[in-house]
Amino acid sequence: MQNTAVKIQGLTKAFGANNVLRGIDLNLPKGRVTALMGANGAGKSTMVKVLCGVHTANAGTISLYGAPFKPTSPADAIRAGVVTVHQSINDGVVPDLDVASNLVLDELAQGHGFFMNKKKIRKQAQELAANIGLNVDIRKMVNELGLADRQLVAIARAMAQKPKLLILDEPTSSLSAKEAGQLFELLDRLRDQGVAILYISHKNSDIKRIADRIVTMRDGKISGLFEDAPLDYQGAVKAMLGRRMSEFSIDIPQVGHPVFQLEKLALLENSLPFSLTFCDGEIVVITGLVGSGKSELADVLNGQIRPTAGKMLLNGGVYAPKNQAEAIKAGVFRTPKDRATNAVIQGFDITKNITLPFTKKHAWAGFLNRWSEANTAKHTINELGIVCQHESDDIGSLSGGNQQKVMVGRWLAETSNLLILDEPFQGVDIQARRDIGEKIRNTAKNRATVVMVAEMDEAVEIADRIIVMVDHTVKGEHRNENLDLDAVLAQVAGASESEQLNAG
């Protein structure tokens, strides 16, 4: 017990008739990083929410450094030293406060600085930011920051609590390679200080870099424990899914007619122009590090921002949407990268989240046809394997991965000319990634599809063609056949080299 930070015994949790945790037994040792893997619905998020005081277990016990631990709220858990960085960034920051206030918020909430003035708050926040290498203007409002910076603020806020147990849920999903490297260095320091770290991720690269052990969950139970070096990632995948993943191969179809063309397009004033063509039935992956220009290109394609130069053609005609509504009207659909902020509509059910952009299709004489909406939702649920009780379930009742399936399914449910998917696999497990990818490929005919991803293993599982972006322009183009991964990765790495030169 002296090396055990957290001991979980017989933990159960049910929501009505749905038994989510079915007798969890797990030890988390201090000074080690435990990677937690599990398919969507395996119970990972529920177990974390019990540990951080959001849910109360139905049965079982938890001890923290040998003492009984039964938090009744997140604040209670934080006071005891259990700090969580959730997958949904907005659960870790308050967007309407500045960065400084966010960094010291937990201390203020606990009454340790009730009468602190703004100058003192900023001084303390600046010290915290400097200690962990957070390079953000602490006077800025959090809602003015990009997704990666908000993620770093949430992580900084957690680390400021001097945790005994630090829980991180997919923390690198929005970070560049450089930012992820900074996070790993911080975790190394915390591990050396004896902090127990529970790191939820399915990224092989993350797990190889940071994990000392892997724990897997399946159907609400612990299904595997891997501690021997080198860690058996493939064995963990099998324990997580109950079977090994089959080898994945792409059957590249015959290229159809050009659907969408970019001619000498420039995303920024100082970026090099580029030209691309997306064809009918083709799936083109745009890859590159965070900040390479992938998301800005997606913004241009669906009318959220204007390019600096160049033009776009849709089915041979000039395409220059002034906003997203005009893009949708032209049959250009996009799933945004930030699911929680820009995609999921909290408080709405699954059906409404799927059909909302297309209510006119489900209306007659000014009245919504509930039967038509429900049929579309049921079809999407079945096609993507969305785990839920009913199409009328609240979207918030779904796991993050199933919410992601709903967001992708929203745009797959209708016919499009160009479908843009910005990080469609973010925060989903390996099986869900395959489910989503298979659905995208099976429906690719009669449209062009562009997928933005940062992870190369995601790219090779879905692409007919891979485009590498660096510094807001195209650096390379590769057919996904006998692919030279080293060459592709070398081009992607050019972004980090450029960032270092610019920083110098």
pLDDT, average across residues 273-288: 95
* Predicted pLDDT at 91: 64
| Residues recorded for the chain | 504
Q: What is the pLDDT of residue 160?
A: 76
Q: At what angle do helices 370-384 and 400-412 cross, to 10 degrees?
A: 120
| Most confidently modeled range among 145-149, 479-483, 487-491 | 479-483
The vertex-51 CA angle with 50 and 56, nearest 5°, equals 30
Q: What percent of the chain has pLDDT over 70?
A: 89
Residue 285 CB-density burial (10 A; 0-12 exposed, 13-18 middle, 19+ buried): buried
265 and 301 in contact (C-beta within 8 Å)? Answer: no
H/E stretch holding 468:
strand 465-470
Q: Which stretches does DSSP call E strand in 267-305?
A: 274-279, 283-287
- Cα–Cα distance, 416 to 142 (Å, whole number): 35
CA gap 407, 401 in Å, rounded: 10
Instruction: Sketch the domain layout of the chain as residue ranges.
Output: 1-81+163-244, 92-161, 258-503
Amino acid symbol at 357? P
> Do 271 and 293 contact (CB within 8 A), yes or no?
yes
Tell me how far apart the alpha carbons of residues 227 and 441 are, in angstroms, rounded to a whole number.
37
In the structure encoding, which two tokens stand for residue 35, read together? 């990677």
d(CA 318, CA 315): 9
CA distances, 339 to each of 291, 342, 408, 477 (Å): 18, 6, 10, 28
In tens, the pLDDT along 68-115 reads 999 999 889 988 999 888 766 666 678 888 888 888 876 665 555 445
Residue 332 · residue 417 · CB < 8 Å: yes
Residue 321 carries which DSSP code? -
The 10s digit of each residue's pLDDT in 418-440 is 999 988 887 777 778 888 888 89
Q: Which residue has the higher pLDDT, 83 or 361?
A: 83
Question: Nearest-CA neighbor of 52 among 69, 29, 28, 33?
Answer: 69
Q: Does residue 50 have a pLDDT over 50?
A: yes
pLDDT tens digits, one per residue of 385-416: 888 888 988 888 887 778 888 888 888 888 99
**Rounded distance between C-alpha atoms, residue 100 and residue 96, angstroms:** 12
Question: Contact 32/424 with Cβ under 8 angstroms?
Answer: no
**Can you give the three-state secondary structure of 171-231, one letter per residue?**
CCCCCCHHHHHHHHHHHHHHHHCCCEEEEECCCHHHHHHHCCEEEEEECCEEEEEECCCCC
Whether 258-503 and 1-81+163-244 are alike in CATH topology: the answer is: yes
* Three-class SS state of 16: coil
Q: With pLDDT > 90 as the criterion, what percentage of the chain qualifies?
A: 38
User: How does DSSP classify residue 346?
Assistant: T
The pLDDT assigned to 495 comes to 36
Question: What's at 386, amino acid-wise?
Answer: I
For the chain, what is the radius of gyration of the CA atoms? 23
CA-to-CA distance for 343 and 358, rounded, in angstroms? 15
Please give the mean pLDDT across all residues of the chain: 85
Q: In whole angstroms, what is the distance from residue 113 CA to residue 300 CA?
A: 45
At the topology level, CATH places domain 1-81+163-244 in Rossmann fold (3.40.50)
Would the pLDDT of 247 be above 70? no
Q: For residue 28, what are the β-bridge partners?
A: 6
How far apart CA 156 and CA 132 sit, in angstroms, is 7
What is the per-residue DSSP string for 385-454? T---S-TTSBGGGS-HHHHHHHHHHHHHTS--SEEEEESTTTT--HHHHHHHHHHHHHT-TTSEEEEEES
Q: For the chain, how are helix, strand and coil distributed in percent, rounded to 5?
A: 40, 25, 35
- Superfamily of segment(s) 258-503: P-loop containing nucleotide triphosphate hydrolases (3.40.50.300)
